[in-house]
Structure 1
Amino acid sequence: MFILQKKKEKCGEELYKTIVKLNIRKQCEVMTVDSLKFPFEKKIEKPLDIVFFDPPFRLNYLKKAFSLIVEKELITEDSFICTEVEKKKEVEEMFEGWKLIKSKIAGQSRYFLLQKK
């Protein structure tokens, strides 16, 4: 099961249309909620295998999101985190306690694949 979250209703609707086109409605749920405030721990029955973070740049949501998934025990040491940040953003402190598996630059973004240490 994939849980896909968007904060804005319009973005959630577009995401849902894509899911319908791909014929994967039974495997997906789209939620339009504020991911930093929604109690996902009540929705998720077991730790997540993969988490994708695509936060808005310049709003510094990523560090808080990392803290929340650990604090609420939504992942294990075997879970993978995929995320993107601005290419020039300093991330060493933000990713402290995480093992870098892979990093790639594309355009103005840097992409990371991480696991807990």
Structure 2
Amino acid sequence: MGKHRQPNQSQKRDKSGFIRIISGLWKGRKLPVHDAEGLRPTTDRVKETLFNWLATDIPQARCLDLFAGSGSLGFEAASRQAEQVTMIEKNPAAFQQLKKNQDSLSAAQLKIIQSDALVYLAQTPSEKPYDIVFIDPPFRQGLLEETLRLLEHNQWLHEQAMIYIESEKEWPVTAIPASWQLYREKVAGQVCYRLYQKAP
């Protein structure tokens, strides 16, 4: 009765080999994604919500995309007229794919750095502070606490910066610096995403 039918290869294969830019200069463009373990591109639905929250903040903003991975958030910000987007990605193959995608878009406002995000944040910033920071690390590896501490402690943030955090639903928010105020919060399945604003 068809019980033992094998799924064909195309059904089994993961279809998330691309990210799609939702709006802006490169609206509708699809960019290939390196398939690395732990790489979880932000879903279109979450991304659309986030960029609705940030709609008036993105143009002319300086953005930092930590744990950039597929670059889904950084490319979207650049497409929507961010002045500069710095992406930090440790995985060599994912970094190479980000560079290829940057070339295909001729995106001069992107700066892509191959580095561990925590090592990068541990240094003293050599440029102006950032207006918007995207933090979407691999889940359940204890990376968020130190990331937030270094961002605040080493003065990477503009005095009214917006900080986006995507985490597993059960992550305790006790590590949030005292001067950050929750601006928006939503849950999608096992993921919680929050936007904070640093109070001046």
Which one has a bigger Cα radius of gyration? Answer: 2
1:88-103 map, 5 Å: 88-91=170-173, 93-97=174-178, 98-103=180-185
1:1-117 map, 5 Å: 1-24=84-107, 26-38=108-120, 39=122, 41-42=124-125, 44-91=126-173, 93-97=174-178, 98-117=180-199
Shift of 1:100: 0.4
Q: Contact 1:77–1:115 at 8 Å: present in 2 too?
A: no
**Matches of 2:166 and 2:150, distance apart in 1:** 17
Aligned Cα root-mean-square deviation (Å) = 1.6
**Matches of 1:105 and 1:85, distance apart in 2:** 10
TM-score w.r.t. the length of structure 1 is 0.86
SS of the residue corresponding to residue 111 of structure 1 reads strand
TM-score w.r.t. the length of structure 2 is 0.53
Could you say which structure has the greater relative contact order, defined with CA pairs below 8 angstroms and 6 or more residues apart?
1
Instruction: Give aligned-pair identity as a percent.
Output: 32
Which has the larger strand fraction? 1
- Letter matched to residue 100 of structure 2: K
Count of paired positions: 114
